[in-house]
């Protein structure tokens, strides 16, 4: 009797650990969606592809796909920086020319870029699932950091969680205590007024894309390591789940995206463990639809003003 | 006068076109014949889909990212009814269309108050859920095993087993759908949709019942998608969840973006150019590249939005 309860609770705790890990990754991606939406009211569908790019860059730099290999830390840093630049480039090439066009045009462009990037990755790296070569990953990551009865917390999970928390804190400091962060918040409130006050809107939007895409790329590498699998369509499902997280938290709100990511990660792991694993993707869709229909502002979202 | 208004009234326009599509199966093409006819049939299926999708983003201005859901719903409804009961296509097809309308209205009703991007997300999520259910409810749909051995279409008790017969059948459905959308476009209903597209609040203020007209658009669009699906299931004789992935929705969207959103002739032209092109690319490109041919569609969408957002055959601004 007692052992049964103990087994039950250790399964529960293990699921909790896995759920929090997954949730922190979703949160990292969701922040990218929510920041861009907050600043230019665009659902950047291609954000999932930036995350995929991060995973592939990490994989390529470690495994020597480009003809040279980098040490672990350097490879991660380079991938994150390249992802940030890719995000800025994406905005300049695809979205900036449409800033004054109808919103539908920008939305369709975002979908087009998402397909384009996904198939570009297919072309470069091929469609099969690739995994990181064993010798390129620091060996301690696979070992347990914490053992509580049957509950295992691996070093990789610890690294993912601390990285996520560290990056979120950094983001919080940037958004709330830096010049550029203040400009971002000003643009989110009223773009026209901000530009009249001398805020260089294009520059701030570029910074927003850089920050969001950098975090997305970091999430991509972490997930690539966590599941040890990298493939061109990985950005598609992760992107949708992260978007659902952003909607759940209230799109445009950074704390909302973090909370939403956490909830969605837990819901997916527990739903998959206790209800049905074949519908684990469905949970994200259902959450997304329900939130939009019942409370479109999400948990922390601001009321959007209707056009008068 | 806009091209769309001339589709059924200008003899110089429609007689040559009609003659061309009617005579196509009888043009001698040697060994390529059956293949060309297959691609032509597929193109007509996508023309029907493009016309159906066009009703929502083109006429009412709401972006639908889940149109493949109705295509799949129609295909599975028709396929399963045929396999289990061996009914005629003339009974199965209306049932599939009714099922499409039912889900179209059910999906549409809660979304009436949503703005453009949230509407797009709900349509996307809804169609993914439909496909997820199809993939997982093995007792009903056989899931990833697909439904093989669906009977061919029939007419007055005779089985239509020749490729040209299937071609004429979908041509008949295409002309029917085309006639419906062209007539509606210039009716009171069409004008109400355009008013909603241009400015929903202004439309409401002048007395357009926005909710009702939107629901009618959702129902019609879903009906056309399910019709195409029902024909497709009976023609292809096999349905599988992988045939109805998200990319199909985007492909259909690409057809109407290319031709011009809201433009009926544009939707037809988009399918006429892009569907044979995908088939040609599939053959011409080596295997490694042909998987990535959607790259071109992504690029095409981006470039159209950048330099020619109104499409090849734009709807004239009144």
Mean pLDDT across the stretch B306-318?
Answer: 78
pLDDT per residue over B234-279, tens digit each? 999 999 998 998 888 988 998 998 888 889 999 999 999 999 988 8
Which pLDDT band, with edges at 50, 70 and 90, does A7 fall under? low
Q: Which of A74, A81, A91, A34 is nearest to A54 (CA)?
A: A81
Mutate to test the interface with A, among B131, B296, B301, B315 (most CBs of A within 10 A): B301
Distance from CA of B58 to the nearest CA of A (A): 11
pLDDT per residue over A28-43, tens digit each? 999 888 888 888 888 8
| Cβ <8 Å between B298 and A282 | no
User: Residue A306: is its pLDDT beyond 60?
Assistant: no
* ipTM exceeding 0.90, yes/no: no
Mean pLDDT across the stretch B76-92?
Answer: 92
What is the assigned CATH class of domain B3-307?
mainly alpha
Distance from CA of A233 to the nearest CA of B (A): 12
User: Residue B131: is its pLDDT beyond 80?
Assistant: yes
Query: Which residue from B minimizes the CA distance to A44?
Result: B117
Q: Which of A116, A236, A286 sits opposite B302 (nearest CB)?
A: A116
Euclidean distance between CA atoms A109 and B304, whole angstroms: 9
Q: Which of B116, B253, B301 sits opposite A109 (nearest CB)?
A: B301
pLDDT per residue over A170-194, tens digit each? 888 988 899 999 998 898 888 889 9
Sign of CA dihedral B200, A286, A253, A85: negative
User: Residue A270: is its pLDDT beyond 70?
Assistant: yes
A15-294: CATH topology is ABC transporter involved in vitamin B12 uptake, BtuC (1.10.3470)
Q: Please measure the distance between the N-terminal and C-terminal CA atoms of chain B and give it in whole angstroms.
A: 11
Query: Which residue from B minimizes the CA distance to A90?
Result: B302
Which pLDDT band, with edges at 50, 70 and 90, does B202 fall under? very high
Of A2-11, A128-137, A231-240, B114-123, which gets the smallest average pLDDT?
Answer: A2-11
Mutate to test the interface with A, among B106, B112, B113, B117 (most CBs of A within 10 A): B117
Q: Which position has the higher pLDDT, A137 or B216?
A: B216
pLDDT per residue over A272-285, tens digit each? 777 777 777 788 88
User: Residue B318: is its pLDDT beyond 50?
Assistant: no
Q: Which residues of B80-116 are buried (b: 16+ CB within 10 A; e: fewer)?
A: bbbbeeebbbeebbebbbebbbebbeebbeebeebeb
Give residue B151's pLDDT. Answer: 86
User: Residue B55: is its pLDDT beyond 60?
Assistant: yes
Give residue A6's pLDDT. Answer: 62
Give residue A304's pLDDT. Answer: 56
User: Residue B149: is its pLDDT beyond 90?
Assistant: no
Q: Which position has the higher pLDDT, A273 or B294?
A: B294
Give residue B213's pLDDT. Answer: 93
Using an 8 Å CB-CB cutoff, list chain B residues near A298: none
Mean pLDDT across the stretch B303-310?
Answer: 88
SS (H, E, C) chain B: CCHHHHCCCCHHHHHHHHHHHHHHHHCCCHHHHHHHHHHHHHHHHHHHHHHHHHHHHHHHCCCCCCHHHHHHHHHHHHHHHHHHHCCCHHHHHHHHHHHHHHHHHHHHHHHCCCCHHHHHHHHHHHHHHHHHHHHHCHHHHCHHHCEECCCCCEECCEECCCHHHHHHHHHHHHHHHHHHHHHHHCCHHHHHHHHHHHCHHHHHHCCCCHHHHHHHHHHHHHHHHHHHHHHHHHHHCEECHHHHCHHHHHHHHHHHHHHCCCCHHHHHHHHHHHHHHHHHHHHHCCHHHHCCCHHHHHHHHHHHHHHCCCCCCCCCCC
Question: For a pLDDT cut of 70, what percent of chain A falls above it?
Answer: 95
Of A203-212, B49-58, B143-152, which gets the smallest average pLDDT?
Answer: B143-152
User: Residue B230: is its pLDDT beyond 80?
Assistant: yes
Which pLDDT band, with edges at 50, 70 and 90, does B96 fall under? very high
Mean pLDDT across the stretch A225-230?
Answer: 89
Give residue B72's pLDDT. Answer: 95
Mean pLDDT across the stretch B45-52?
Answer: 95
| Cβ <8 Å between B126 and A289 | yes
CB contact at 8 A, A83 and A217: yes
Give residue A307's pLDDT. Answer: 40
């Amino acid at each position: 009797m007692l052992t049964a309860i103990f087994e039950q609770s250790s399964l529960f705790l293990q699921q909790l650990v896995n759920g929090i890990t997954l949730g922190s990754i979703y949160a990292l991606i969701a922040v990218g969606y929510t920041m861009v939406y907050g600043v230019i009211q665009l659902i950047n569908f291609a954000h999932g592809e930036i995350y995929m790019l991060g995973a592939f860059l990490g994989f390529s730099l470690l495994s020597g796909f480009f003809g040279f290999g980098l040490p672990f830390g350097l490879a991660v840093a380079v991938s994150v920086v390249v992802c940030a630049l890719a995000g800025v480039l994406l905005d300049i090439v695809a979205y900036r020319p449409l800033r004054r066009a109808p919103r539908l045009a920008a939305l369709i462009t975002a979908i087009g870029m998402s397909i384009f990037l996904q198939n570009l990755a297919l072309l470069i790296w091929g469609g099969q699932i690739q995994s990181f070569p064993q010798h390129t990953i620091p060996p301690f990551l696979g070992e347990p950091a914490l053992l509580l009865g049957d509950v295992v917390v691996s070093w990789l999970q610890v690294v993912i969680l601390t990285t996520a928390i560290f990056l979120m804190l950094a983001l919080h400091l940037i958004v709330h205590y830096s010049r550029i962060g203040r400009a971002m918040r000003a643009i989110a409130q009223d773009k026209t007024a901000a530009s009249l006050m001398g805020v260089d809107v294009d520059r701030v939007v570029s910074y927003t894309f850089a920050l969001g895409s950098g975090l997305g790329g970091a999430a991509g590498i972490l997930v690539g390591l966590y599941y040890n699998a990298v493939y061109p369509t990985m950005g598609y499902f992760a992107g949708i789940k992260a978007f659902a997280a952003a909607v759940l938290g209230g799109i445009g709100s950074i704390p909302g995206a973090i909370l939403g990511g956490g909830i969605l990660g837990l819901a997916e792991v527990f739903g998959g463990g206790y209800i049905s694993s074949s519908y684990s993707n469905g949970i994200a869709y259902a959450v997304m639809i329900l939130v939009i229909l019942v409370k479109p502002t999400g948990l922390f979202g601001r009321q959007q003003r209707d056009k008068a | 006068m806009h091209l769309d208004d001339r589709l059924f009234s200008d003899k110089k326009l429609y007689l040559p076109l009609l003659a061309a599509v009617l005579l196509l199966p009888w043009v001698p093409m040697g060994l390529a014949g059956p293949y060309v006819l297959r691609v032509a049939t597929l193109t007509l299926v996508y023309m029907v889909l493009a016309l159906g999708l066009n009703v929502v983003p083109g006429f009412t201005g709401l972006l639908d990212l889940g149109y493949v859901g109705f295509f799949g719903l129609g295909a599975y409804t028709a396929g399963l009814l045929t396999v289990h009961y061996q009914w005629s296509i003339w009974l199965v097809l209306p049932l599939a269309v009714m099922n499409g309308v039912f889900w179209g209205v059910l999906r549409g009703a809660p979304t009436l108050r949503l703005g453009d991007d949230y509407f797009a997300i709900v349509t996307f999520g809804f169609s993914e859920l439909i496909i997820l259910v199809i993939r997982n409810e093995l007792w009903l749909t056989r899931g990833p095993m697909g439904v093989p051995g669906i009977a061919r279409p029939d007419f007055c008790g005779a089985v239509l087993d020749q490729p040209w017969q299937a071609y004429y059948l979908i041509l008949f459905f295409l002309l029917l759908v085309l006639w419906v959308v062209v007539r509606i476009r210039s009716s009171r209903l069409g004008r109400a949709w355009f008013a909603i597209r241009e400015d929903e609040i202004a439309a409401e203020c002048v007395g357009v019942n926005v909710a009702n007209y939107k629901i009618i658009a959702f129902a019609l669009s879903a009906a056309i998608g399910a019709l195409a699906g029902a024909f497709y299931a009976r023609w292809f004789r096999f349905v599988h969840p992988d045939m109805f992935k998200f990319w199909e929705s985007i492909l259909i969207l690409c057809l109407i973006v290319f031709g011009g959103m809201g433009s009926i002739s544009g939707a037809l032209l988009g399918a006429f150019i892009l569907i044979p092109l995908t088939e040609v690319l599939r053959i011409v490109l080596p295997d490694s590249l042909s998987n990535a041919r959607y790259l071109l569609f992504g690029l095409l969408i981006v470039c159209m939005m950048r330099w020619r957002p109104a499409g090849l055959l734009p709807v004239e601004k009144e």
